[in-house]
């Protein structure tokens, strides 16, 4: 959602392009409607009534009201986060207790869209150097966004255990801080295992597989197969406890392993992709920047393929 806000700010940097807003809304609306219809057809017991695309559609329109007032957008971000932490669920929020394949709360995520507007106004998308420790600047590659994506290749020439230790300590401190802060402010819905906790656990679990990418691929296939066949793993974190954020680590661990294998195949160095034989599609910069720019189309395209396949597999089983 942060990137949604930044991308909107970039598109409408000089002036609000209403034609673009209308076309984007129609496309997103059609995609959201199609997604709901498809999941209702193949999974009538748990259709997507308000998933990621629905959330992006709504928050895109709501964010447009703040497009020319980034400082007000920053205040909006602070308000939405404080409200969610201290009060809890927003009265106009979509219900999140219905059976569904995907549901995204829009109010909390609207805050990140607004934060994206403000970050664009202060030039965060153009940052070339980050100085976390005074006197020790970190030079980024291209932009701050591509930098963090590329550093997934840090163990390319051997496991850097010092880096692993530092990363684990930093993530652990952040994860513990989030748990402590949310527990103090909202004990009924504190974050016991959110996104940062999940990244910490999966970062450590993925390290042993960085030198054996084929085993990583097998692990990915086993995890996805297990999840589709039996659902939640016995070692998964409980997801029925009231919380502001919970991320299942086991299923996502599979994608970490897939990333290890894709790296071994040189995916991060691809300069072109040939989907139709004889017609290579040139990438823009790197595979990270290209996929990032077209992530919405990729998301929609893969859903149209994955959902019918999941339905066939689940009903056939």
User: What is the distance, to the nearest Å, from the Cα of residue 118 to the centroid of all Cα atoms in its chain?
Assistant: 20
In-domain check, residue 290:
no
Q: At what angle do helices 295-316 and 52-64 cross, to 10 degrees?
A: 150
User: 314: number of CA atoms within 13 Å, CB side?
Assistant: 15
Cβ 110 vs Cβ 208: under 8 Å: no
Alpha-carbon gap, residue 12 to 59, rounded angstroms: 16
- Phi first, then psi, for residue 278 (nearest 5°) are 85, 0
In-domain check, residue 136:
no
Summarize pLDDT for 129-171 with one digit per residue, the tens: 656 566 666 555 444 444 444 444 555 566 677 878 888 898 8
For the ranges 1-15, 55-69, 181-195, 252-266, the maximum mean pLDDT occurs at 55-69
Alpha-carbon gap, residue 183 to 171, rounded angstroms: 18
In-domain check, residue 263:
no
Helices (H) and strands (E) in the chain, counts: 12, 4
Mean of the per-residue pLDDT values for the chain? 78
In-domain check, residue 307:
no
In-domain check, residue 150:
no
Q: How many domains does the chain have?
A: 1
In-domain check, residue 243:
no
**What's the distance, Cα to Cα, between the start and end of the chain in Å?**
36
* Residue 269: DSSP 8-state: G
Alpha-carbon gap, residue 46 to 217, rounded angstroms: 29
* Residue 273: DSSP 8-state: E
Tell me the residue range of the domain where 1 lies: 1-126
- Which has more pLDDT, 11 or 313? 11
Sequence-ordered list of residues with C-beta below 8 angstroms from that of 296, at least 6 positions apart, any chain: 53, 56
Give the pLDDT of residue 141.
46
Cβ 286 vs Cβ 152: under 8 Å: no
Q: Where are the beta strands (DSSP E) in the chain?
A: 129-133, 136-139, 272-276, 279-282
**Which tokens in the block code for residue 47?**
């259709």
Give the pLDDT of residue 73.
93
- Helix (H/G/I), strand (E/B), else coil: 281: strand
Summarize pLDDT for 27-85 with one digit per residue, the tens: 889 888 988 888 888 778 778 888 888 988 999 999 999 989 999 999 999 999 888 87
Say what the pTM is.
0.55
In-domain check, residue 22:
yes
In-domain check, residue 148:
no
Look at residue 259 and tell me whether its pLDDT is greater than 50: yes
Cβ 34 vs Cβ 92: under 8 Å: no
């Amino acid at each position: 959602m942060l990137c949604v806000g930044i991308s909107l700010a970039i598109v409408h940097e000089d002036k609000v392009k209403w034609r673009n807003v209308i076309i984007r809304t129609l496309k997103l609306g059609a995609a959201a409607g199609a997604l709901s219809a498809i999941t209702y057809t193949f999974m009538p017991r748990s259709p997507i009534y308000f998933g990621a695309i629905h959330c992006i559609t709504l928050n895109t329109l709501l964010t447009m009201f703040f497009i020319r007032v980034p400082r007000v957008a920053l205040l909006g971000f602070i308000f939405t986060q404080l409200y969610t932490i201290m009060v809890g669920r927003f009265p106009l929020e979509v219900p999140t207790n219905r059976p569904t394949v995907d549901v995204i709360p829009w109010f909390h995520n609207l805050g990140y869209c607004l934060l994206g507007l403000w970050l664009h106004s202060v030039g965060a998308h153009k940052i070339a150097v980050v100085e976390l420790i005074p006197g020790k600047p970190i030079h980024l590659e291209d932009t701050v966004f591509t930098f963090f994506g590329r550093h997934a290749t840090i163990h390319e020439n051997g496991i850097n255990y010092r880096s692993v230790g530092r990363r684990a300590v930093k993530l652990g401190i952040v994860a513990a801080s989030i748990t402590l802060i949310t527990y103090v402010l909202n004990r009924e819905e504190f974050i016991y295992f959110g996104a940062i906790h999940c990244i910490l656990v999966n970062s450590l679990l993925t390290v042993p597989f960085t030198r054996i990418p084929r085993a990583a691929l097998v692990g990915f296939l086993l995890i996805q197969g297990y999840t589709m066949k039996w659902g939640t793993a016995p070692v998964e974190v409980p997801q029925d406890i009231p919380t502001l954020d919970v991320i299942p680590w086991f299923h996502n661990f599979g994608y970490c392993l897939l990333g290890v294998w894709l790296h071994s195949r040189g995916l991060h160095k691809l300069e072109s992709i040939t989907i139709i034989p004889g017609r290579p599609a040139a990438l823009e910069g790197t595979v990270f920047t290209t996929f990032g720019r077209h992530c919405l189309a990729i998301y929609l395209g893969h859903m149209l393929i994955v959902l019918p396949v999941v339905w066939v597999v689940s009903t056939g089983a």
